[in-house]
Amino acid sequence: MGCFSLLCSHNVKLHKAHLSVASDTEPFVVPGLPQMVEITRAQLPGAFVSLPDLDDVRNKMQEAEMSAFGVVINSFNELEQGCVEEYQKAIKKKVWTIGPVSLCNRINLDKFERGNKASIKEQKCMKWLDSKEPRSVIYACLGSLCRLVPAQLIELGLGLEASQQPFIWVVKTSDERAEELEKWFSEQKYEERIKGRGLLIKGWAPQVLLLSHPAVGGFITHCGWNSTIESVCSGVPMITWPQFSEQFFNEKLIVQILKIGVGVGVEISVRWGEEEKLRVLVKKHQVEKAIDMLMDGGEEGENRRVRARELAEIARKSLENGGSSYCNMSLLVRDILEEITKSP
């Protein structure tokens, strides 16, 4: 998680702002932010919903956080738009932003192997991407914890196909829904229909490697923090499809504050175990429209791409000698050593 989402959650809970509205879909202002941000109860992290089975664990986590010396965050000051200082004031503890840690992977092999064993060969990925025009490919990956039902994933697939943009779509194969989606692929001959223009990766994808390729021009993301900051580091604008946890806060940062993304139109969280009840939240035409907006060749689209590239350069410089994260890492080491010397 980044400072922005941590500050949002802290301030909403502290001021009980979510209790000031009459319904789960009525927007309220997140208090105490440098910027004006609105959200709804239906978009808040699951921690705001009391669950008897989890409340004890949550309380213990909160106690551990309160007793901690400080907070280390995979981010960089310039990305957080003034929220680092505000979060430090709010929790009355030290905060060190020492990221983006994904930039430590400099060579392609490191990028390819980062996180898990990829389900596709590096050479196949690179050859396919090398055949595409710069910034033309949409990369779609909704996270390893994605619990969307097959009907919803089919809408995503149809939207990607209808967009006429080349695309890479990462599909999970590790849950009970994968078989139903695979059946649809086969019956509809989907892979034949998209051959040459679309590439399916079934399983784990080398995300950092893919995002860093010059052909990738957009990322359909669930707004998990790791994915968000990896996209920022690569200078790739995003289509935001938040699902749960702090992801709706991250969407606000991407779309509203940093202005490097467009929303696909999700308005409520997908609570664990409620996927079948919600079914389809985003239709094919919404996916197609969001892709058209993101890849727009006009002034708004170009400004979005320029901002994304500028942030990527700032991210890189933050880790260089004298950069914000470089200095914060030095401060972290110093503060830990000082704390150790105080111990009896």
**How far is 142 from 146, CA to CA, in rounded Å?**
6
Amino acid at 334: R
Average pLDDT over residues 166-186: 89
Q: Where are the domains of the chain?
A: 3-100+316-342, 114-311
Matching CATH number, 114-311, of 3.30.420.40, 3.40.50.2000, 3.30.530.20, 3.20.20.450: 3.40.50.2000
Provide the pLDDT confidence category of residue 194 given band limits of 50, 70 and 90: very high
162 touches 156 (CB < 8 A): no
Let me know: does 3 contact 93? Beta carbons within 8 Å: no
pLDDT tens for each residue of 247-264: 999 999 999 999 999 999
Query: Rounded distance, CA 276 to CA 107, Å?
Result: 42
pLDDT of residue 295: 94
64 by Cβ neighbours in 10 Å (0-12 / 13-18 / 19+) ranks as exposed
pLDDT in tens, 26-76: 999 999 999 999 999 999 998 787 667 777 887 888 888 888 899 999 999
pLDDT digits (tens, 9 = 90+) for 79-116: 998 999 999 999 999 999 999 998 986 654 444 455 44
Could you read off the pLDDT of 214-244 as tens digits, one per residue? Answer: 999 999 999 999 999 999 999 999 999 999 9
pLDDT at 119: 58
- pTM for the whole thing? 0.93
